[in-house]
Structure 1
Amino acid sequence: MTDGPMTDGPMTDGSMTTAPGAGDAITVDAGRVDVLHRLALAVRPLDARTTGTAGGLRVGREIGREAPAPGGPVRPLENHGASGWVLRYGSGAGGVRSRAVVLRLDDPGRRFVPRRLRLPLWTLPELTGADDRPPTAAYVPAASRLLRPWLLPGVAYPVTGGVTGLRLRVTDRGAPVRWPRVEAFGAGGMRVGWAHGDEHGQVLLLVDGIGALAPPTPSAFDVVLRTAVPDRAVAVDPVDPEDPLADLVVEDLPRSQAPPTDQDLDNPVLRGVALPSGYRGSTRDVLRSLTVGRVLPATDLPHT
């Protein structure tokens, strides 16, 4: 992300109304300037396969979790193109007045599986305190307000030639399971891939490597598949025909430290590997055979 949207400072974007504390002046190399905005959060979703920026998404915050407001249950974040999405402190359409947010990331083209993430924000006094004379709070770098969640391939993900994997539909007692998760383990118990499923139980599982098998690489090899699904006994938001993501689990993230650690910027929750609260794992794994360089057609994968 470029320095512009991630840096506190003067802003001439007329779409943003005056932020709390506007009119305050700080001293920079160019002299005294008025602060017209404060960065609350920058979101840069990553393609889990390439670790490059995932584009074509809708990224917003669930306003129903903060206060009633017009415009539906999700308010889009400011889209800064390839740089990502930005949330700023203020009282306008792009501002936020909550200490925590529930973010929603989804792809109308179904190339990526949606995610919902909840995290606390750095408060406005914590961000402005470093500008006081004398300072009343430590400086919070922009990187401490950066979120880089990984999005797993969805059913319409553009699979290139030579990729190994399979398409699945996770079922429980013969019925599709909403929002399943699947892990694949190769020889030696090495994890070679993981995937998220959509509201229809459909999963695109793409693997990296063959595990601990000795060379040469075989044309086919076995993997052990392990499923996890939302626990029926745990209360979740019901399926809402007007909000197809209402029952998608909300994954909790801690606030980054200042300055951020490597763990703040890249961890199992961000990667989508950690099993969310309210999920239950299968009691029996399933063995499947993969063909190197091919994504095998869809079959049902029962969750036991």
Structure 2
Amino acid sequence: MSVFLSRPYDEHRYHLALGIEPRSSLTGSRLDAGLEVRWERYPKPVGRWRTWRPGETLTDVLPRIDRHSSGRFARRYDEEVARPMLVRLVDRQRRYVPRRLEIPIPDEATVVGAVGPHLVPDPAWRRSFPVDLFPGAAAPLTSGATVLRGHVVRQVGGVPQPVRWARVRAVTPTGAEIGWAHGDDRGEFVLVLRPARGALTVPVDPMVVELTVSRPDPPPVPPASDPDLARVDPLWDLPLETVVPSRTPATEATLTGRRFIPTFLDRAPLSPAGPLSLRHGRQTSVVLTIA
């Protein structure tokens, strides 16, 4: 039945099922080309699914979610979708730390009914999501930024081992939050420090910060039912975060990434112990040893 046009005309309508807008966690701006959004749909176990060429990864063969000229990634209901959609956001140049998301979307009947004869719009926030990505090891940073570059490790048998996908939060001695970082598969993170929100005075130099590091607990192991997964998928143990749709996405932690994963263990680092003193406008490097 034609809804928007008179009866003699044919009508084709396409409804958005999922929209993703990757943004910089530092500036809030839409990220440029080079980023990929892939749908995590593949047969399991991966070792029986296909013959893997040397250097080929699971991300290489996952279905793409197309990027539109607006810079957003989108999929329509007339294309194949799942409810929920499991996606991964990946930057192969390591400028941004990847994220894996489970995104609930409404069924098409709900959307069609909401934009039907009564023209009541289905709210875009239920299907379109701005997602913050955090700087990686090769991130382009502005000059004059106060940056802590770090490596999170654990001592295993007296040998330091990188902690994959750690998260780091920085606060002032009074508890004011001044920075977040996501660690990568090598245990590396880039933490850009900002004045506390609402601060009315210039921070003292050097800046004193206290860190909390969050890590998987216990460390994940490859699933016994899919033993080849860790070999072909560098992101096999990257936490899958369930997104909460929100009318105010700028304050929704599952979208901004400014939160610790609920299943992780959150602790102050063992070394260096205590607060760090960082000079304004400079980059400082540190190795954080955690329990």
Q: State the TM-score bracket (shorter-chain normalisation).
A: 0.7 to 0.9
Matches within 5 A, 1:1-304: 25-27=2-4, 33-55=10-32, 56-64=34-42, 74-90=62-78, 95-130=79-114, 139-173=121-155, 174-209=160-195, 215=201, 217-232=203-218, 240-256=230-246, 261-262=247-248, 264=249, 266-282=251-267, 286-296=274-284, 298-304=285-291
Which structure has more relative contact order (CA 8 Å, sep 6+)? It is 2
Q: Distance in 1 between matches of 2:222 and 2:261?
A: 12
Q: Distance in 1 between matches of 2:16 and 2:268?
A: 45
Q: Distance in 2 between matches of 1:108 and 1:207?
A: 25
> Which residue of 2 is the match for residue 14 of structure 1?
none
- Identical columns (%): 28
Q: Contact conserved, 1:185 with 1:211, CA < 8 A, in 2?
A: no
> Which residue of 2 is the match for residue 5 of structure 1?
none
Q: Distance in 2 between matches of 1:77 and 1:129?
A: 25
Count of aligned residue pairs for this structure pair: 268
Distance 1:97 1:149, change over 3 A: closer
Q: Distance in 2 between matches of 1:254 and 1:288?
A: 34
Q: Distance in 1 between matches of 2:27 and 2:7?
A: 40
Q: Distance in 2 between matches of 1:221 and 1:280?
A: 26
Code of the residue aligned with 2:206 in structure 1: it is A
Q: Distance in 1 between matches of 2:109 and 2:239?
A: 31
Offset of 1:219 from its aligned partner? 3.0
Q: Contact conserved, 2:115 with 2:122, CA < 8 A, in 1?
A: no
Code of the residue aligned with 2:113 in structure 1: it is G
Q: Which moved more, 1:272-281 or 1:199-208?
A: 272-281
Q: Distance in 1 between matches of 2:128 and 2:62?
A: 20
Q: Contact conserved, 1:65 with 1:102, CA < 8 A, in 2?
A: no
Q: Distance in 2 between matches of 1:86 and 1:291?
A: 42
Offset of 1:212 from its aligned partner? 9.4
- 1:83 alignment partner, SS class: coil
TM-score, normalisation: structure 2? 0.81
Give ranges in structure 1 of 5+ residues lacking alignment.
Answer: 1-23
Q: Contact conserved, 1:150 with 1:272, CA < 8 A, in 2?
A: yes
Q: Contact conserved, 2:222 with 2:230, CA < 8 A, in 1?
A: no
Q: Contact conserved, 1:26 with 1:131, CA < 8 A, in 2?
A: no
Q: Contact conserved, 2:97 with 2:135, CA < 8 A, in 1?
A: yes
- 1:63 alignment partner, SS class: coil
Offset of 1:144 from its aligned partner? 2.9
Offset of 1:187 from its aligned partner? 3.3
Offset of 1:97 from its aligned partner? 3.6
Offset of 1:303 from its aligned partner? 1.5
